[in-house]
Amino acid sequence: MDIATPPLLHIDAKINPEPVEARDRLIVALDFPSAGAAMELVDQLQGTCRWFKVGMELYYAAGNAVVEHLRNRGFEVFLDLKLHDIPNTVAGAVRTVARAGASLLTVHAGGGEAMLRAAAEAASGPDSPRLLAVTVLTSMDAAQLIGVGVCGTPAAQVVRLAKLAQGVGIGGVVCSAEEVGAVREAMGPALNRTGPLLVVPGIRPAGADVGDQRRVATPAEAIAAGASMLVVGRPITQANDPAKAAAAILKEMEG
């Protein structure tokens, strides 16, 4: 069923009003293998949420069509593709997926300065999504970083990559709640329309199963630490009553 919603807060590539309402700060992850399953969950939420994340699993199954469908229904889309390739390839991918109308799009900060700069240039058009640089996945801890040759702490690596992204014009990052305070200090406060947008996944309500995540936090902890927006998946999508679970998280965020 289609859900009538009030005008949404749109975050574009050039202007970043800091979200203030809880519903503008919660992104529900549609990690499903088909568009049908994803839309079933959207319907179950009964208009509780305004933002949805389309990640690789759903995007590879349904492509730009699922982004366009969500936009046509009045929702905002966080397209989490974590683009990571040579600069020319990433720039082309940014231009291609921009046509679907997503508000946010991720690239991997680990791709380096040249790749990030190419992505930023490709997303400079008036209808392009705002780019977010993914720093260190929330499934990784210090031991796993050492395994891929990064000997510093996760926090140090996250701040390093966040500053790299900001230096080439990408004013938003994805990081865990453990680092969001340090990133906020390094990138600057979100007190104006061009402040950094810090999106935090790995959110788990108190007592919830952390699954394959390592660096997690409750919704209240992440907001208090300086997060702009939160990404929540399984605590909502696998709940017996997704709308009730989402409402509980929104209430905690408001508190």
Mean of the pLDDT values across residues 173-182? 91
Q: What is the mean pLDDT of the chain?
A: 86
pLDDT at position 116: 98
What's the pLDDT score for residue 146?
85
Domain boundaries, the chain: 22-250
What's the pLDDT score for residue 194? 57
What is this structure's pTM?
0.86
Can you give the pLDDT at residue 188? 81
Domain 22-250 has CATH 1.20.20.10: no
> Which of the residue ranges 38-42, 119-123, 176-180 would you say has the lowest mean pLDDT?
176-180
Residues with active-site annotation: 82
Residue 202 pLDDT more than 90? no
The helix (run of H) or strand (run of E) holding residue 232 is strand 229-232
Burial 191-219 (b: 16+ CB within 10 A, else e): eeeebbbbbbbbbbbeebeeeebbbbbbb
Percent of the chain with pLDDT over 70: 86
- Region 6-17: mean pLDDT is 38
145 vs 210, residue with greater confidence? 145
Report residue 216's pLDDT band, with 50, 70 and 90 as the boundaries: low
Check pLDDT > 80 for residue 175: yes
Token pair belonging to 135? 């720093």
Please give the pLDDT value at position 230: 95
Give the chain's largest Cα–Cα span. 50
pLDDT in tens, 70-98: 999 999 999 999 999 999 999 999 999 99
Give the E-state strand segments of 113-164 in sequence order: 130-134
Determine the pLDDT at residue 13: 35
Name the pairing type of β-strands 51-55 and 172-174.
unpaired
Nearest Cα to 164, choosing from 110, 220, 91, 90?
110
